[in-house]
């Protein structure tokens, strides 16, 4: 399970970073989402991976339990990253509609005219 989980985090992060380095806005936003998925899984794993253990302490019996704090952290991180993705999509859409171009670098108007020619 650990290998599966670790490689999932690794692949998500690597794919995210690859996409973030692209030139157009759409892949960059996809890359950001993948990266946040990777982060969320990673945060979840910081409380150690446990199967079939509730995140609750039991004072009557010695039962296995898992750390509840990372789960709370992940919940917060999911909400924040979801909201942030929505914001960046809206801003990118605005920039795309206004500039008729979704390149993420800001080329000067003169150069852009040259590109089109």
The owner of tokens 């296995």 is 64
Q: In whole angstroms, what is the distance from residue 101 CA to residue 86 CA?
A: 20
Q: In whole angstroms, what is the distance from residue 32 CA to residue 77 CA?
A: 13
53 is a contact residue toward another protein (CB under 8 A): no
78 is a contact residue toward another protein (CB under 8 A): no
The residue within the footprint of another protein, chosen from 87, 113, 114, 115 (CB under 8 A), is 87
The residue within the footprint of another protein, chosen from 3, 57, 61, 106 (CB under 8 A), is 106
User: 64 vs 113, which CB is nearer to another protein?
Assistant: 113
77 is a contact residue toward another protein (CB under 8 A): yes
Cβ–Cβ < 8 Å for 66, 44: no
């Amino acid at each position: 399970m650990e290998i599966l989980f670790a490689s999932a985090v690794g692949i998500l992060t690597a794919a995210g970073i690859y996409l973030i380095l692209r030139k157009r806005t759409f892949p960059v936003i996809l890359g950001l989402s993948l990266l946040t998925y990777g982060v969320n899984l990673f945060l979840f794993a910081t409380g150690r991976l446990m199967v079939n253990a509730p995140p609750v302490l039991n004072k009557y019996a010695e039962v296995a339990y898992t750390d509840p704090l990372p789960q709370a952290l992940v919940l917060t991180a999911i909400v924040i990253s979801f909201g942030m993705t929505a914001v960046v999509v809206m801003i990118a859409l605005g920039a795309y509609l206004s500039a008729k171009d979704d390149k993420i670098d800001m080329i000067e108007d003169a150069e852009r005219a040259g590109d089109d020619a």
